[in-house]
């Protein structure tokens, strides 16, 4: 494969510097950035407002590297779409677009497969293949963005749509929220993931708000500490699933590398240093971790820490026999957490019919 420059890998200053290195004005570099992210153009042919010299150079040496859609599925309730996207090396990843409660959210992947091996997760059951590049992470978001732009004129655009009014190019439903909860452990691919976040946050481009970006980790302690030390303004979600080391390690093998005590220390450090709440994710598995004893254990573990607990009834996967926690148990779990002054929510299950729910993303090995 030719070593073309992947434009989605570059931050705005890097892109402008590259255009200058080609002997063109930085103004054209800024224009190129705007074409990519503000206008959302997916090919150089569409960038007719750029000088011919720059477009020729781009066609010879660079690539936008869009991710072709190998399959697209829509949930029966119409709220969720799942895309199987093809990477240049023949691997594939899944990306999800969710539109409900007035929110438009992209759930994107950070790796092909995952090394963390959570027993109930379809991605974990795949094993780890490779990290995604920043360009491949940005490319997923831009795919979703282009999808939303394309629905601007569609008569079936849902009433939930939130049009932009600042430009004729942006009279479309706008991507508001980004969750790094797709395939892979984002903090295992820290540099590429945070580079992608920087690119997507750039105020002259897609301008995703930091407070609308949530990174979900299974508890990679060094990554949590690094996020805190770097003062990253995005939200952090930590998947707990078990309130003792033994119970957690049985569901999350990565807990053997980063034990519960160390994880809680890292969470306390993060909350104290950034003065920011953490979301704690808890997959409710019937008869396993959804009882009053576990709820009290979670309460005792988290008491006094600024967290919100998100309870997520297990979504089915082929490789795990557990079943979702029952709604009455979830309600009781919440009541017990409230006794410890811990706010909580129970996540609605959506997109299950197309295996687009939490822990359900996976692809068959394609290479
Ligand atoms: S839940 Fe997340 S960290 Fe665990 S195996 Fe699945 S993708 Fe990896």
Identify the CATH number of the domain in which residue 22 sits. Answer: 1.10.150.530
- Determine which helix (DSSP H) or strand (DSSP E) holds 194, and give its type and residue range: helix 190-201
Note whether 207 and 88 are same-domain residues: yes
Which residues lie closer than 8 Å to 44 by C-beta, 6 or more apart? 50, 55, 58, 59, 62, 64
The number of angstroms, rounded, from the C-alpha of 253 to the middle of its chain's C-alpha atoms is: 21
Of 359, 362, 363, best ligand 1 pocket probe by most atoms within 8 Å of the beta carbon: 359
pLDDT of residue 163: 40
Q: Which residue, of 15, 44, 63, is where some domain finishes?
A: 63
Radius of gyration of the chain (CA): 21
Which residues lie closer than 8 Å to 185 by C-beta, 6 or more apart? 110, 111, 114, 115, 116, 217, 218, 220, 254
Whole-angstrom distance, CA of residue 234 vs CA of residue 197: 9
For atom 5 of ligand 1, which residue has the closest CA? 124
Tokens encoding 242: 């078990």
Whole-angstrom distance, CA of residue 254 vs CA of residue 258: 6
Please give the residue range of the domain that contains residue 202.
Answer: 69-354
Contact 192, 6 (CB under 8 A): no
pLDDT of residue 107: 96
Residue 185 in domain: yes
Q: Which residue, of 63, 81, 112, is where some domain finishes?
A: 63
Note whether 58 and 99 are same-domain residues: no
Whole-angstrom distance, CA of residue 309 vs CA of residue 298: 10
Note whether 23 and 77 are same-domain residues: no
Tokens encoding 317: 């996967």
- CATH code for the domain of 337: 3.20.20.70
Of 119, 123, 181, 249, best ligand 1 pocket probe by most atoms within 8 Å of the beta carbon: 123
pLDDT of residue 50: 96
Note whether 251 and 289 are same-domain residues: yes
Q: Which residues of the chain have pLDDT under 50?
A: 1, 153-169, 366
Atom of ligand 1 nearest to the CA of 217: 3
**Ligand 1 cavity residues, CB under 6 Å:** 114, 116-118, 121, 123-124, 183-185, 218, 359
3-state helix, strand, coil in the chain (%, to 5): 40, 20, 40
Catalytic residues: 94, 358
Residue 361 in domain: no
The set of long-range contacts for 226-233, using a CB threshold of 8 Å and a minimum separation of 24, is 226/190, 227/187, 227/270, 228/266, 228/269, 228/270, 228/273, 228/274, 229/273, 230/194, 231/273, 231/274, 232/194, 232/197
Residue 24 in domain: yes
Note whether 273 and 347 are same-domain residues: yes
Buried-exposed string 91-101: b where 16+ CB fall within 10 A, e elsewhere: bbbbbbbbbbe
Strand 307-313 relative to strand 344-346, pairing = parallel
Closest CA to 54 of 18, 14, 104, 83: 18
For atom 7 of ligand 1, which residue has the closest CA? 184
Q: How many domains does the chain have?
A: 2
Note whether 249 and 280 are same-domain residues: yes
Note whether 249 and 319 are same-domain residues: yes
Contact 234, 215 (CB under 8 A): yes
Residue 224 in domain: yes
Residue 360 in domain: no
Per-residue pLDDT of 162-180, as tens digits, reads 444 344 445 567 899 999 9
Note whether 41 and 158 are same-domain residues: no
Residue 275 in domain: yes
Note whether 126 and 267 are same-domain residues: yes
Q: Which residue, of 15, 40, 63, is where some domain finishes?
A: 63
Residue 359 in domain: no
Q: Measured in angstroms, how far is the CA atom of residue 176 from the centroid of ligand 1?
A: 24
Note whether 226 and 333 are same-domain residues: yes
Note whether 308 and 183 are same-domain residues: yes
pLDDT of residue 76: 92
Q: How many CA atoms lie within 13 A of 118 on its CB side?
A: 27
Question: Helix (H, G, I), strand (E, B), or coil: what is residue 285?
Answer: strand
Q: Measured in angstroms, how far is the CA atom of residue 183 from the centroid of ligand 1?
A: 7
Per-residue pLDDT of 5-32, as tens digits, reads 999 999 999 999 999 999 999 999 999 9
Model-wide pTM > 0.85: yes
Note whether 202 and 104 are same-domain residues: yes
Angle at 220 between CA 87 and CA 284, to 5 degrees: 90
Q: Measured in angstroms, how far is the CA atom of residue 121 from the centroid of ligand 1?
A: 6
Count of C-beta atoms within a 10 Å radius of residue 161: 16
Contact 361, 355 (CB under 8 A): yes
pLDDT of residue 143: 96
Atom of ligand 1 nearest to the CA of 122: 6
DSSP 66-123: ---EEEEEE-TTSSEEEEEEE-TTS-EEEEEEEEETTEEEEE--SEEE-SS--TT-HH
Whole-angstrom distance, CA of residue 85 vs CA of residue 71: 7
Residue 89 in domain: yes
Angle at 250 between CA 244 and CA 253, to 5 degrees: 105
């Amino acid at each position: 494969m030719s070593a073309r420059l992947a434009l989605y890998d570059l931050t705005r200053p890097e892109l402008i510097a590259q255009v200058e290195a080609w002997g063109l004005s930085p103004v054209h570099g800024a224009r190129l950035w705007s074409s990519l992210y503000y206008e959302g153009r997916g090919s150089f042919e569409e960038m007719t407002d750029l000088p011919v010299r720059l477009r020729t150079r781009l066609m010879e040496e660079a690539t936008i590297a869009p991710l072709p859609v190998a399959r697209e599925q829509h949930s029966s309730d119409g709220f969720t779409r799942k895309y199987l996207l093809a990477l240049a090396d023949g691997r594939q990843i899944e990306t999800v677009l969710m539109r409900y409660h007035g929110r438009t959210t992209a759930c994107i992947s950070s790796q092909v497969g995952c090394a963390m091996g959570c027993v109930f997760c379809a991605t974990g059951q795949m094993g780890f293949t490779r990290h995604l590049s920043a360009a491949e992470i940005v490319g997923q978001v831009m795919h979703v963005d282009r999808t939303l732009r394309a629905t601007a004129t569609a008569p079936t655009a849902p009433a939930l749509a939130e049009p932009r009014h600042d430009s004729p190019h942006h009279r479309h439903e706008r991507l508001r929220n980004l969750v790094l909860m797709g395939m892979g452990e984002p903090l295992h691919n820290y540099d590429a993931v945070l580079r992608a976040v920087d690119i997507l946050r750039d105020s002259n481009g897609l301008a995703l708000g930091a407070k609308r970006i949530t990174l979900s980790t299974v508890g990679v302690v060094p990554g949590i500490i690094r996020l805190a030390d770097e003062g990253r303004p995005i939200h952090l979600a930590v998947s707990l699933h078990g309130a003792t080391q033994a119970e957690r390690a049985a569901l999350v093998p990565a807990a053997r590398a980063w034990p519960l005590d160390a994880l809680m220390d890292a969470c306390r450090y993060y909350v104290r240093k950034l003065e920011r709440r953490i979301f704690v994710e808890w997959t409710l598995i019937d008869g396993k971790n959804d009882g009053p004893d576990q709820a009290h254990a979670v309460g005792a573990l988290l008491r006094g820490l600024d967290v919100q607990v998100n309870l997520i009834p297990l979504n089915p996967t082929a490789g795990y026999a557990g079943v979702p926690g029952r709604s009455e148990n979830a309600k009781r779990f919440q009541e017990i957490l409230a006794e410890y002054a811990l706010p909580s929510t129970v996540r609605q299950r959506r997109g299950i019919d197309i295996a687009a729910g939490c822990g359900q993303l996976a692809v068959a090995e394609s290479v």
